[in-house]
Structure 1
Amino acid sequence: MRRIAAVIAGGALAATLVACGPAPADGNLSQEPPAPTASAPSSAPSSQRPDATETTPTKPSTSKPTTSKPKKTAPAVLLKAGDKGEDVRDLQVRLREISWYVGTISGSYDDATVEAVRGFQAKRGLPETGKLDRTTWKRLTEMTSEPTHDQKHNVLKPGKAILKEGSTGDQVKELQARLKQIGWFAEDVTGMYGQVTVSAVKGFQEKREIPVTGEVDQRTWDRLVAMTRTPTQEELDNKPAEPKQPGALDKRCLTGRVMCVDKSTSTLSWVVDGKVVKVMDARFGCQGMETREGVFQVGWKSRNHTSTDYNTWMPYAMFFSGGQAVHYSPDFAARGYNGCSHGCVNIRDKAGITWLFDQVQVGDKVVVHW
């Protein structure tokens, strides 16, 4: 980022000038006039005796030296809300790489970018300003790679196919089973990559702004894996799944303080050291804006939050993955499962989420699973 680099370099230059100080224009280090040269002794005797001069002793000062405390200054801001340009694109790509920014790279420091920066700062114990300062930028660049031109300008090129029409085998079976989990594949899992599988892959790619080829490249596979769980043997063999036992918890929810979000039962369980303390109904993201699955941590909380991106009130928000949060949803309370979210975990029990908000601490675990 040239402008950010220039700002940082400029600060270093200014510090150097202050430390060195400007030299006089003629190159001399002193502007004092030269000392007079010794003159010849005078022939006229002095009328004053050598010991006639009196000196009055100076009393030592009793006042204490004044010391001024250095004032704390806010970190220099490199980028902030309202800024536009290549530097913002660079920032957004880096935040997206570590799942704090979701969406198209716009080059505009909008509300979504502010929230992503604030979440990143909160997770790392930095001042939660939503503005990009030097410390935030240093931490971010240490964790991310240099964005390419294509990444910064949403240029998507298909990668080398790892599965395509005519492929066969266990990985094709896994592909079909994963597509089936999210409603893109409705046939039996066969392990043969035919036209039905091509159509399913194309639909999946188009919905997620991946180059539509019908072939599975690494980007397509990674996105699918991130949205689905490892298929069971029953799924791979086209056998009906055994019903889930009531109260069964994902093993990742058994230790510590966990918001355990189960998509298969549409519930959120608050679990402490393996004991279920409270269970509430939950609703998830619409197709194309799915709630991400995996193990996360609560990065920051906002009791009375409003999403300006969607003009949506989302109180008691507990953010766990970029802009995705667990929060109360008036729409869920009113319409139930007839609606869906933009990716967040919606809760309709207002009293329950109010209570939960006060229990959950930044750093607590969040597990989202099927």
Structure 2
Amino acid sequence: MIRSSRTGRGHAHRGGRGAGAASAVAVLALVAVTAGCKAEPAGSASAAPSASSSPTDDAKPGTKAPESATPSASAKPSAPPKATPSSTPPSTPPSTPSADPQAEVLMASGAQSKQVRELQARLRQIGHFDRSPTGYYGSVTVAAVQSFQGKRGLSRTGKTDTLTWQKLLGMTHAPTAAELNPPTTRPVAKPDKRCMTGRVICISKNSRSLSWMIDGKVVSSMDVRFGSQYTPTREGTFSVYWKSRHHVSTIYHTAMPYAMFFSGGQAVHYSSDFAARGYNGASHGCVNVRDEGKIASLFDQVRNGDKVVVYK
């Protein structure tokens, strides 16, 4: 992503000798920092089923409804009518559970709240959610709720209604603070030696984790993802040079909340796409964080000039 220039530097001036050369230099400079942070377009990887879903969770095909014992009007005259024990034909059982019209929807796709985080933590307790709670109700959470509903004979809507919620409450315990906010889904890597002094955002590509460290001690950590093969996140030692709480990409016109720029157009920022799709996607070079609560807290603590170390 590229931040909007507040000083106007980098624009070619009109008139004067050398204007053409200045324009060429400006174009090259623009290309150098356009490793933006918008999520990669959905492709074969993003179209793949979520790892949290399972073929055994799919609804079973509907069974054929039993034929009525009452003779049809189109039956042949030669066929003797079958005797019926009652004048009322038997009802046809539904092939799949039907949603209770009285059930109120409490949470659904797109929701973001502390209750969503609790939902995810409770689903994780009984094996329906395989990652750290994020508080964002994305496609992974929809699949997890559908899995839970299917196993419990509820309608597989993927929405958390009052029936689903009460069923889940009865099968789980109130999540602990550690269950609601675990450090990361993945083990945190051993910090690089460059992270051991001062105030450092220490980012490991191998463990896909970010640790906020002060004087060699880990203050907080979180899951991150990086750029794709063609738009890689740069490695090395940098420093935060600009913070933008409500940043919007000037290239892709997508939100980059809590952006902390450290190298050209590359920044650490929250990604709703990462929260929804996990590692099925990638950025255009930025370091994506999927837990908005954690990145918001980090944003408030980090200062311009703090070190950023990106390593394998």
TM-score, with length taken from structure 2 = 0.45
Greater relative CO, 1 or 2 (CA 8 Å, sep 6+): 2
**Larger % of helix: which?**
1
> Of the two, which has the highest radius of gyration?
1
TM-score, with length taken from structure 1 = 0.38
